[in-house]
Amino acid sequence: MSELFEAIRQRRSIRKYRPKTIPKELVLEVLAAAGWAPSAHNSQPWRFVILSDASIKRRLVAAMAQAWVADLKLDGITLEADKRKERVEQFINAPVLILACLTMDGLMEFPDAKRQSCERDLAVQSFGASVENLLLAAHAKGLGACWFCAPAFCKGTVRAELKIPDAVEPMAFITMGYSAEQPAAPAKKSLSEYCFVDVWGAKLRI
């Protein structure tokens, strides 16, 4: 149990990787751990697409970059070429690039928008638990990984490029590989800043 807490504290978001191939069996083992996450109604609403073909990754990321630039222009922002190249290459050059998706398959269907929105919240919470399992499993296996939400901002583009069914919603990228950096721990809020005790209606800070 102490090893688990140590893994939680030591895990970092890794963005730089060594040019070393990860065995397929190891990648699948990490993804199997993601599947053991708790989920509403045991729906397991996560889907993972392993992107290994360089040409597919390059085409997908280039299309995403175009969508990103177009959105920024609507806000009157022009993205520098170097910055755009950096964002594109961090996905293309990752030893393993995983597209994490959400599906409502297995969730309940309600006739009203309010309850159906709540059911989607359950799916999103379950999805987040699976990705956290993935990140911790990667760390436990000596791998680095990083969770990026870029696909959530251009779901239509990602779906079109990969021919993903309408019932599957692109949500995030997970890059994974053998770490080439040792980032320091980011600043974290103290327990007293995010944990509260409710005693007879009175909110008490820990």
Nearest to 36 by CA among 105, 147, 126, 170: 126
Please tell me the CATH code under which domain 2-205 is placed: 3.40.109.10
Are 170 and 164 within 8 A, CB to CB?
Answer: yes
* Predicted confidence band of residue 206 (pLDDT cuts 50, 70, 90): low
Non-local (6+) Cβ contacts of 6 within 8 A are: none
What are the boundaries of each domain within the chain?
2-205
Question: How many whole angstroms separate alpha carbon 176 and alpha carbon 179?
Answer: 8
Lookup: tokens for 199:
């005693």
Mean pLDDT value of segment 87-99: 93
- How far is residue 54 from each of residues 67, 91, 93, 178, 192, measured CA to CA in Å? 20, 10, 9, 18, 46
Lookup: tokens for 126:
């379950």
Span 102-129, pLDDT tens digits: 999 999 999 999 999 999 999 999 999 9
Q: Which of 1-5, 52-56, 147-151, 202-206 has the lowest mean pLDDT?
A: 202-206
* Predicted confidence band of residue 71 (pLDDT cuts 50, 70, 90): confident
Higher-scoring residue by pLDDT: 57, 76: 57
